[in-house]
Structure 1
C-alpha cells in the first residue's frame, strides 16, 4: 500500500533533500499498461491505487513543496531538483497532455495473450511460441496534433496477435521447409514503434519502421532502446522517413515492392488518408503471391467506418488492384487508455469506451483471364 500524503515528511518539519525526493518518487503516477491478459479485478485495483494518488490531499501536499523556498536545503541544485520533481508529480495529475515524457513497459506473453481471448487457437509451437518479453516505449509529451507520439490500443492489440497471424494466415511466409529467407517487414505510420518492434522480436525478422520526419527522432530512440532485445531474439530494426505521398528516405526505399509483409495500425483519421495509404502499400508491398498487408482500423465512430470503406475502395481502384480477403477479416476488441476527458472523470487514465478493431488482411487480387 503506497503512503498517503499525510504519512510523508511535511514541509514544516524541514525534511532532508533525500527524504523529499523519496516522498516525491512514491507519489509518481505510472500509466497502467492496457492488457487483455490481466484479470479485471487486478486492473480495477491498479486504477484505484492510481486514483488515490491523484486525490486532493496529494495535490495540496505537492503545492506546499512547490510554494516553499526550501531554504534549509544545501544549494540551488537540490532545491531545483525538488521543485522539478514536485512539478512533475503535479502535472501527472492533470491528464496525459500535461504529463510530459513517459516510459511505458509493454509485456508480451504467449500464454497470457491466448488466455486474454485475442484469437488463440493457431498452430501450436513454432512462431506461435516464444519466451515472454517486455518492450519499453517512450512517449514524449503530447503537443498540438502529434498523434504519432502516443501508443494507441490498436498497435498493442495487433502486436499481441502477431504470433497467431504468423502461425496461420501468414504461415507460408515463415515456413522454413520452403527454404525461403524470413520476410522483410515494413511498418507504415509506426508512431512510437511498438507494433514494428514487436514484429521484429516475435517473428525474428528485419523490420523497417517509418513515419513522418517529425516523428522519426522518437521512433529512432525507441528502436535503439529495444534493439539489443530484438537482436538477441533474431530480429533487426531500421528506421526511416516515409510520408505517404511525400518525403521518403531514398536510402531505404530505392527499390519498389520489396516488402513481403506491410503492417499498419490505426492509420485513418483524415479524408485523404485512405488514398495515400493505398498508394504507399501499392509502392512497397511485394508482388509475390504470398505477400500480405495487415491493417488494423479502430471503428470509433461513423467517420472511421467511412474511412475504412474508402480505403478498401482505394485499394481496389489501384492500377494493380489489391483486394481484402474477406475470409481473413476479423474483429478484435480493445480499449484506448487516453482521451480528452479529465483524469477525475476517467479515474486517472481509465479505459475509454470499447472500440472494435478489425484486422484487414490485404492481398493481391488473382489475375483475370
Structure 2
C-alpha cells in the first residue's frame, strides 16, 4: 500500500488532536466503482494486497475509539476524534454502514468526450434499495454505446440528436443508467421509481441536468408504481408512448416479474420496432428463478427475446463480500 499504519501517530505516543484528525481524514474511503474493463486478475491482486492493510486500519481505529484520549484537554476535540474514527470504521462495514455519500461515475462514448455523472446516495435504511447505486446499472451504462450500435441501431443514431425518441427507465433508483442513456444516446429519458425514491432521484437529475443537456440529451423524473392505477403523474396517463424501455436490476421480490412485465406492456409503444432492454444480475437461484418468471410474463404479453447476452461485472449486493464477480444477464425484447 502507498501508506502504512505504522507511520501514523499512535495512541501510546499521545499525539495532538490535530495530528490524529489529519490521519483519520487520510483513511476516509468511498465504495468502489466497478468497471467492465478491470480484469479479474487485477481485482483479486488489489484485494489480496489490501487485506492486511484493512485489518491494520481496523485495529488502529479501534485503538482511538477505545482510548479515553486523556492527554487531550478539550472535550469537543475528543468527541470529534471518536466520531471520525467511528465513521472510518463504519465505512469498512459495507455500504449499509455508511451515511450519505456522493460518488462520481466516469463514462465514455465514441460520440462525445468522456464525462461523469455525480450521484448522491442517502443513508441506506430499511428496504430502500433504490437509494443505492448498484454495480449492474453501471455495467449496463458502460455498454450503452455498443447497444446503440448493435442492438438499437434502427432507433438510435450515435453522434446525432435523437430528440424525437422517448425513452422510459423503470426502477431508476439513483438515476445512473437513465441519465447515462440520455447523455450517450442524446435523447429524452424519463426516469421513474416509487414515490419514496423519487426525491433523491430528482435531486440527482437536477445535479446532472446541465451536463446531460450539454451532451445533447434531456432528462426528467417522476413517480411510477408498477401495477398501480394511481400514478401521480399525468405524464403517464397516456399509455404506450415510449419507444425504448430500460430496467437494470429490477427483480428482488416474487411479485416483481409480473409487475415489471405489466408496466412495460403499459408504457412501451405498440410498434414492432419498439424495444425493451433489461439487465438482471444472476446472484443466486432465487434471482435466476425471478428472471425466468419475468421472461415468461413478457412472452405472455407477446414480448419476445430478440437477443440475450452475459456481461461479467462486479456486484456488492452482499456487504460481507468485498469483491464479487457476477454474471449479469441482459436481453433485448420486442413485440411479436
TM-score (norm 1): 0.81
1:335 aligns with 2:314: yes
Q: Which residue of 1 aligns with 2:19?
A: 19
Out of 154, 157, 160, which is 1:172 matched to?
Answer: 154
Whether the aligned pair in 2 keeps the contact of 1:2 and 1:26 (CA below 8 Å) is: no
Q: Which structure 1 segments of 5+ residues have no match?
A: 111-127
Q: What's the CA shift for 1:92?
A: 1.8
Whether the aligned pair in 2 keeps the contact of 1:88 and 1:99 (CA below 8 Å) is: yes
1:364 aligns with 2:335: yes
d(CA) in 1 for partners of 2:169 and 2:253? 19
1:51 aligns with 2:51: yes
Whether the aligned pair in 2 keeps the contact of 1:138 and 1:192 (CA below 8 Å) is: yes
1:160 aligns with 2:142: yes
Q: Which structure 2 segments of 5+ residues have no match?
A: none
Q: Which residue of 2 aligns with 1:118?
A: none
Q: 1:17 to 1:107 in 2, by over 3 A?
A: same
Q: Which residue of 2 aligns with 1:97?
A: 96
Whether the aligned pair in 1 keeps the contact of 2:34 and 2:139 (CA below 8 Å) is: no
Q: 1:104 to 1:45 in 2, by over 3 A?
A: farther
How many residue pairs get aligned? The number is: 335
Q: 1:285 to 1:197 in 2, by over 3 A?
A: same
Q: Which residue of 1 aligns with 2:84?
A: 85
Whether the aligned pair in 2 keeps the contact of 1:96 and 1:338 (CA below 8 Å) is: no
Q: Which residue of 2 aligns with 1:279?
A: 262
d(CA) in 1 for partners of 2:158 and 2:136? 29
Aligned residue for 2:104, secondary structure, equals: strand
Q: What's the CA shift for 1:289?
A: 3.2
1:134 aligns with 2:116: yes
Q: 1:53 to 1:101 in 2, by over 3 A?
A: farther
d(CA) in 2 for partners of 1:175 and 1:94? 44
- Give the superposed CA RMSD: 2.7
Aligned residue for 1:269, secondary structure, equals: coil
Residues 1-369 of structure 1: matches in 2 within 5 Å? 1-48=1-48, 50-55=50-55, 57-70=56-69, 77-110=76-109, 128-175=110-157, 181-246=163-228, 247-318=230-301, 321-325=302-306, 328-341=307-320, 346=321, 349-350=322-323, 352-355=324-327, 357-365=328-336
For residues 261-283 of structure 1, what are the alpha-carbon distances to aligned partners after superposition, in whole Å with 9 as ceiling and x for unaligned? 11011112222111111111111
d(CA) in 2 for partners of 1:188 and 1:12? 54
More strand by share: 2
Q: Which residue of 2 aligns with 1:123?
A: none
TM-score (norm 2): 0.88
d(CA) in 2 for partners of 1:286 and 1:270? 26
